[in-house]
A and B are shown apart, each in its own frame.
Chain A
Amino acid sequence: DVKVTQSSRYLVKRTGEKVFLECVQDMDHENMFWYRQDPGLGLRLIYFSYDVKMKEKGDIPEGYSVSREKKERFSLILESASTNQTSMYLCASSVSGSYNHEQFFGPGTRLTVL
């Protein structure tokens, strides 16, 4: 079974802190994604990566950056956390060129910025 793990289930940070969210997948997937989930807004794509060291902005990249130094690991960075970044963050991975683009999600990290 594909497994996507996220470093923390719950995280509480202070405004202005630098925050790292880590995601690891164990199925050698080329594509990895970071979403934030907010009620009524669905899943909004922050960044995605289709290869090591490659990244592309999603729909809401402002205030975030990412790093992908190894194929299995994709990190989301909040350079200076703000209260409006309080949200559920979901990581996902998928095989490049798969016929159904199936994305496999981690369990999420609920981040609270005080």
Chain B
Amino acid sequence: QQQVKQSPQSLIVQKGGISIINCAYENTAFDYFPWYQQFPGKGPALLIAIRPDVSEKKEGRFTISFNKSAKQFSLHIMDSQPGDSATYFCAATFSSNTGKLIFGQGTTLQVKP
């Protein structure tokens, strides 16, 4: 029940296309869902996050779609650029938690010019 399952493991998209990464969770007590972005040679960094009281959150070209009934959430990168090439991790946690995040398996995105 603590797992977060992420797919696909890798993704290749043409410049200007839409990149979509999906995550699923089991524990309905999770109430905070962040996405982290990791460039080669760097540690992950918070990209965007959502709480389950909204179905969508948009920040620039990045959008999280959240489906509470299906226990799924996804990251959409519109107009994907080569600079978006990175590894993306979804995560989940409880607001009352000590700060632990449960991470998905990661998706390596390559955006071809």
Contact = CB atoms under 8 A, between A and B. Distances in A.
Q: Chain A interface: which size bin?
A: 20 to 34
B82 to A, nearest CB: 22
A58 B98 CA distance: 12
Contacts, number: 72
A96 B36 CA distance: 19
B10 to A, nearest CB: 9
Contacts of A98: 99
Given A33-B100, A90-B44, A95-B99, 14 more contacts: A31-B98, A31-B99, A40-B105, A42-B106, A43-B103, A44-B103, A58-B100, A100-B49, A101-B99, A103-B46, A103-B101, A104-B45, A105-B44, A108-B43
Interface of A: 4, 31, 33, 35, 37, 39-45, 48, 50, 56, 58, 90, 92, 94-96, 98-108
